[in-house]
Every structure is written in C-alpha cells, then in structure tokens.
Structure 1
Amino acid sequence: MRTARTITATAAAAIATAALSAAALTTAALPAAAGPVTDWDRMLAQQPLVRTADTVQAEVLRGGHAGFAGLVLEDDHVALWWKGDVPAAVRAAASRGEAPVTFEAARHSNAELREAAKVVQAQRGPGVHAIKVPADGSGLVLGATSEVATRAVRVDVPVRTVVEEPLAPVSRQNDAPPWKGGATIVLGNAACTSGFSVRNGDNARFLLTAGHCGNPGVRVTDPTGEYIGTAGAKHGDHDIMLIPTGNVVNQQYVGGGDSNSTEVVRGWGDVYTGEYLCQSGVTSARTTGAPVCNIKVLFFYADREDLVEGEQMNGQPSARPGDSGGPVYGPSSSGGVIAKGTVTRAAGARIGFQDFRTANRDFGVYIPL
C-alpha cells in the first residue's frame, strides 16, 4: 500500500547566570549568513529557552508554589512572572537553566486568575466564547462577539475584551501499518488526522486524535477502508481521544499531502507562551505542500482546561477542516520532533490545540522513545 496522508473535518530582581549569553542564544541555532532564517531555525534557536522553562516549571509543579503566574519565552531570555517574593527553590532552579531568566512582578497569580475565571464562567452570556489567562498575571482576557457581551461580567480582577471570531472545530492520503501521526483517518463519515502514536503504563498502544472526530466504539480506517482500530477512551471537555491499535510507530508525517517524509517523535514536552510551533494536519499539508509553522503560542484558556491558543504569524490559515487531531510539535535538539499537542480548533490565523500534558494526565499516555 502506498504510504501517504489525509485529515478531518484545536526581572527586575535578578538575572540567572546562564550557560549561553543573550547574544549566543539568539544566534547559536541559527544558520550561517549564507541563507535566510527559516521557521525551523527559529524554533531550534528557542530550545535553550524551552529547556530552561522546563527546569523552572518542574520546580513550580513539584513545590506547588502559589505565586506562580506564568512563563514567557522572550527573544533572548525566559521571563518568569510571579506574585510576591520568588521562593529560593525557584530562583535556584532558574540559575540552573541554559538561558537567562528574569523575574517579573505579576499583579495576580495563575491560581487567582483561574478562580476568577470560574466567576466569569458563571456570569457570561452567549456572546463570550473564551476566557484566557495571560502568562504575565495582568488579568483575564475575554474573547467575545462584541464589547456589549461582556458588560455584565463582574469580577475582582482586571478584564480585557477582545472582539474576535471564536475558534471552531476543524475536521494524509493513504497510510499503512505501522500507523503514524499526521495521516488521514476516517471515523464513520468524518475524516481527521492522526496525532501521535502513544502508549500507556500497561504498554498498550494507541493513536491520539481529537475527541470531536467521533465517539467510542466507532470503526476507524484509513481512506481506502483498511482497518486501524475502534475508537476508545475519550475526554470530551479536552477534545482528545485514543484509538487502540497494536501496530503503531513513533513517527509522524511532515511533508506535503502526498509526501512520504516522516520524522521520529522523540518524546513530549510542555508548551510555553511565546513558543513557536508547527502543525501537520492533512488538509493543510495538501493545500500548502508543507506543515503550517511560525505558530506562536499566545494564551492558555481557563474555560476549556489547558486549551492553548496560538497564531500563525504570517497571517496564513493556521488549520483547515480535516486537520483535527493532527500533531502540533516543535524540534528536538537531537533530531526529529517533540510532541506538543493535537489540533482541535481554528479561526483564520488563530489555532486552538490541546497540549500533550493534558493527554498524559487524562489517559496516562506517553511517547515511546
């Protein structure tokens, strides 16, 4: 069977000593002056920032520190936004990173904003379609159809309204076993994109995709009708679903719609505001001849737990019908890619995707190495 693919119809206080200087950080992973900087070059250049953010976030998660507001990848450093005094353990973690870390004063912690978001959730009318939590702790951002839609909202944190189109669900040609990410999968009358090959603690194997592509029990095939598996566990609120199937491999398609080009998926990672990523949904791959890259992470949603919003920075469509469930990823410094999430929604250049940590938490799945 020919292998190809298809998809369906989401401080001021101190600077940590770093192994890389700011100047080196912005140039270390970039190509020589012989050619232009590509989207992939930009993502590779961010890897010291990502690894530094991982180090800081691990301590935040381990210690349950209440003042944490967010982490932002800036051009040449990581900004850690914090309400109150930064604990010594967090400062120590920041000092171990590869990149400089600045400590910025936040007006509110992430936990405070999420509690305020629950109040907004109870008050909001139909015109408010999103509640977003900025990483700088400045307040809440409401996505709405009009300014009028948010006038009834009363909450004890600053609220900013953005009038914008809501993110809507988006739903490669002929993959073959072992099944890979970025390929067309058919669930009943819906065509979507496979996300990542994953395993759980029992070493059972699955394909991860978007929950809105189908329901548990539906038969899943490739476009030629070859059986992949039967849809299994689903978390509707997070729009993720597992398809049990024994014959999978930790690879994903990265070329155009008829391309057989694949990359090895070398584990999964957390997502950070300011991070640049790609998505490899089938429809976009067919339309553009390549993955959609230069997607910058902007917000995490409070009303749809851990939904991440990004924007394609050239103004191009971020995702298309049939891209649902497809892989969102960044580069691995050792070659290949790192799983970051799965496509679930889009609105023009804006994209909504579910981060991989949520799938790990909901289903206990991981990327086999």
Structure 2
Amino acid sequence: MRANLALLATGAVVLSTALLGTAAQGTSASAEPHGKRTVAVSQVVAKDTLNEMNRQRPLVAAADKIRWQVERGSNAGFAGIGLERDQVVLWWKGEIPGQVQGAIDEARRTAPVRVADARYSLGELKSASARLQGQLRKHPALGHTVKIPTDGSGLVLAADGAGTGGAKIAASPAPWALADAAGVPVRTVEEAPLKERSRDNDSFPWSGGALLKNNGAPNCTSGFGVRNSTGAQFILTAEHCGKAGDRYTNGADAYIGTPGPANDPHDIMLIPTADVDNFMYTGGRGNDERGVRVDGWDWVYPGEVLCQSGVTSAGATGGPVCNLKVLFFYNDSEDLVEAEQTNGQEAARGGDSGGPVYAASANGGAIAKGTVTRSAGARLGFQDFGTAWRDFGIWIDK
C-alpha cells in the first residue's frame, strides 16, 4: 500500500537517541551536549499539550508493564492496549494467562486497568488483514490501507473515493463482500491516502531533528542518535529518504555517512556515523538552535498524545507539531502507526520524513516514540521506535 501514501522526504533529516524503555532517564535537563542549546521540554511544547502528556504518564507506565509481558511470550489472545481518559484498557480474547494477569495486577498499582473482551486476537486480525490486502492488490479501487482497531472488533479499510484515473467509485463494496474476503467484519472509511514526506546545519556529534542532504540535495530529517549492543552509532531516519551508496551530509555539506541497515517495508534506516548524541532540535529553522535532551524510548499506545519535529514543519511553525493523537496501527507491509492532529493543523510537511516523534519525559526531556513517514492534512503515519528496536536492536545513544 506504500505507493498510495505520501512520503515526507523533501528536505529534512532527524537523528534519534534511544534507551531500552524509559527506566533510565539520562542526564540532568540542564546538560549541554557538545555546546548545543538544550532547553526543558516545557519551553518547546505548549502548556496544554505538556499537561496532557504529564497526565498520561502513569497510564503509559502501567501499559508498559503489560506490554513488556506480552512482548516476552506468544500470548495468542492479545488484541491490543489503549489509553482512555483515566485508565488503560487491555483487549483480550479468551482466558488471560497467569503471567499476564500478574502484569495487570502490578500495572494497577500505577493506574486503573480495565480488561475488555475482544472478538478477535491481534494474530487473527493480522491474518485477516493479509487476506484483505490480497483482494486490494487484485482490485485497487476497493481501498488503499487496512487498519487494525485496538479493540479487536475487526478491520478498517480506508478508501479515497476515487478509482484509477480519478474516476469516482460508483458504490462502496458491500460490507458482506469485504467481510467474506477477510473472514472478519470490515468497516470502510473514506479518506485520502497519506503521502510520504522526505534543521539546516547540525554539527558533529550528529543530533535528531536536523536537516539531512542526500547527494547534495536537502530531502529529509534526522530522527534520533542511536547505538546497538556493539557500541556502533547511527542516525535513525526513514528508509525512503535514500538508498545504499548515497552520501549524507548536513546543511553545510559536512559528511555524515552512507545508508546502512534498513527495513524497506517498515520505512526505517540507520546511517552509520562516527558519533551521535541524545540531543534533538525542536526550534525553528536557521539560527534557532534550541532543542531537548532525549531520555530514552518507549512503546506507543492508541489514545496517546505526541509531537513531531520535522525540519520543514519547524520552518513553517517555528517549533514542533503537537497534539498528535494516536489512532491506529496499520497492518499492511509497513506496519505504521496513524495519528491525527486534534486541532486540524498540518501534521507534517515534505522534508519531515525521518524526523522524531516523541513525548515529554518526567525529567524535562523527551521520550522517543518513532520517526515520520507519511501525512495527509491533519493525519500522520509514523513508524514506532519499538519496531526499530526489534529490527535493529538499537536504543537511544547516551
């Protein structure tokens, strides 16, 4: 489905720093990594958004206790975890295993947790999604994206209302026909496909949220500065921003590196380089060198509110785009996460691709949540950091 979405690679690159989870919060908020202007996240994120992130922090911490237990086992009944206004909701099909129940009990000491019955497990819905995607490959006019709701109720098929050549689809597919193909209920929504979106002069060691130039042309944003278990250091960004052999530089043409490990379906890529840090630019373009310390990484949950700091959006708004509320996890080959800017503002712009998606940390910094891939108006598609951790074994460099 990727060809139908709008990539954000045009002129920005973001570097990301990762920690395994959020237990280790890093250095003090006043630390100045290599002379860059570090500010508290409260100076970057609007007060109402920061208040919402702070309010959600115990919910995220409680959800993490369950999420890590699910990650450790097969747990075939798991459907999803989401955040509601004042509680965590776990959707599960069938009997909950003892170890998961233990994690739920532990999580409830941090925040309320409601367990709800799911009609289908995540595994069942992934299989159903694959069947439905097979139908879409044969009949592209049916839709462009398959989504899996966290509650395990079925699938959501997004269609843009136009067939090949822009001709309007005469009628939506009958629900029973889609459900028959998938083997589960399918709800159709009409919305435009997301588009890929590909600061100006970062300096060594390389940071997140900075302009990346590919073979001399600005095209993306760095996500985070990361390292793996061998100590090797990388910039994490979007895979669609470049290909093997490309030459990446900063805005002043200082050499950074060439693409290394990548996962094309997940649209994430590592650029090996000599040194990175856990600084992330969050100010505007040009001489605005403000940024925050990245304290670690964490899982993403539907209902969570996040920000993104792509280079192009920074130039347009003077800072990050916030109030991005997580809606869905996709289940096409990219397995992206979808969020929506709750005030109807542009979620991302061309050149934001690869840029950092994040939440506020308890220590005045940021928590890495993912990297920008696509957008359409107020909607954003990004890859979550947990997927990069699985694919590459990386965490925030500190």
Alignment of 1:170-189 (within 5 A): 170-188=197-215, 189=217
Once the two structures are TM-superposed, the CA of residue 37 in structure 1 deviates from its matched residue by: 5.0
Measure, in 2, the Cα distance between the counterparts of 1:305 and 1:211.
Answer: 11
132, 136, 140: which one aligns with 1:126: 140
Measure, in 2, the Cα distance between the counterparts of 1:361 and 1:367.
Answer: 14
Once the two structures are TM-superposed, the CA of residue 291 in structure 1 deviates from its matched residue by: 0.3
Q: Secondary structure at the match of 2:131?
A: helix
2:271 corresponds to which residue? 243
Structure 1 gap segments, 5+ residues each: 1-5, 9-30
Once the two structures are TM-superposed, the CA of residue 368 in structure 1 deviates from its matched residue by: 2.5
Measure, in 1, the Cα distance between the counterparts of 2:259 and 2:72.
Answer: 34
Structure 2 gap segments, 5+ residues each: 1-10, 14-41, 162-168
Measure, in 2, the Cα distance between the counterparts of 1:230 and 1:134.
Answer: 37
- What amino acid does structure 2 have at the position aligned with 1:364? G
Deviating more after overlay: 176-185 vs 332-341:
332-341
1:221 corresponds to which residue? 249
Identity %: 54
Measure, in 2, the Cα distance between the counterparts of 1:368 and 1:203.
Answer: 9
2:356 corresponds to which residue? 327
2:73 corresponds to which residue? 63
User: Contact 1:131–1:303 at 8 Å: present in 2 too?
Assistant: yes
Deviating more after overlay: 149-158 vs 356-365:
149-158
Greater RCO structure (CA 8 Å; 6+ sep): 2
292, 303, 312: which one aligns with 1:263: 292
Measure, in 2, the Cα distance between the counterparts of 1:93 and 1:255.
Answer: 39
| TM-score, with structure 1 as normaliser | 0.88
1:144 maps to 2:154: no
- What amino acid does structure 2 have at the position aligned with 1:262? G
1:159 maps to 2:173: no
- What amino acid does structure 1 have at the position aligned with 2:274? G
2:230 corresponds to which residue? 202
Q: Secondary structure at the match of 1:38?
A: helix
Q: Secondary structure at the match of 1:7?
A: coil
Once the two structures are TM-superposed, the CA of residue 87 in structure 1 deviates from its matched residue by: 2.6
2:93 corresponds to which residue? 83
Q: Cα deviation per residue 1:103-126 (whole Å; 9 max; x = unaligned)?
A: 111111111100100100111122
CA shift in 2, pair 1:48/1:342, >3 Å: same
Measure, in 2, the Cα distance between the counterparts of 1:150 and 1:200.
Answer: 47
Once the two structures are TM-superposed, the CA of residue 150 in structure 1 deviates from its matched residue by: 4.3
User: Contact 1:190–1:213 at 8 Å: present in 2 too?
Assistant: no
Q: Cα deviation per residue 1:249-278 (whole Å; 9 max; x = unaligned)?
A: 111011222321121111111111111110
List 4+ stretches of structure 1 deviating above 3 A: 147-153
- What amino acid does structure 2 have at the position aligned with 1:225? D
Once the two structures are TM-superposed, the CA of residue 338 in structure 1 deviates from its matched residue by: 0.9
Measure, in 2, the Cα distance between the counterparts of 1:212 and 1:150.
Answer: 32
- What amino acid does structure 2 have at the position aligned with 1:87? P
Q: Secondary structure at the match of 2:182?
A: coil
2, 6, 12: which one aligns with 1:7: 12
- What amino acid does structure 2 have at the position aligned with 1:239? D
Measure, in 2, the Cα distance between the counterparts of 1:224 and 1:341.
Answer: 26
Measure, in 1, the Cα distance between the counterparts of 2:337 and 2:87.
Answer: 22
Q: Secondary structure at the match of 2:388?
A: helix
Q: Secondary structure at the match of 1:315?
A: coil
User: Contact 2:233–2:397 at 8 Å: present in 1 too?
Assistant: no
2:374 corresponds to which residue? 345
Q: Cα deviation per residue 1:38-90 (whole Å; 9 max; x = unaligned)?
A: 11111111110001000011111223211111111011000111112223322
- What amino acid does structure 1 have at the position aligned with 2:147? K
User: Contact 1:126–1:149 at 8 Å: present in 2 too?
Assistant: no
In the alignment of these two chains, the number of paired residues is 338
User: Contact 2:199–2:221 at 8 Å: present in 1 too?
Assistant: yes
Deviating more after overlay: 258-267 vs 149-158:
149-158
1:26 corresponds to which residue? none
Measure, in 1, the Cα distance between the counterparts of 2:73 and 2:241.
Answer: 37
48, 54, 66: which one aligns with 2:64: 54
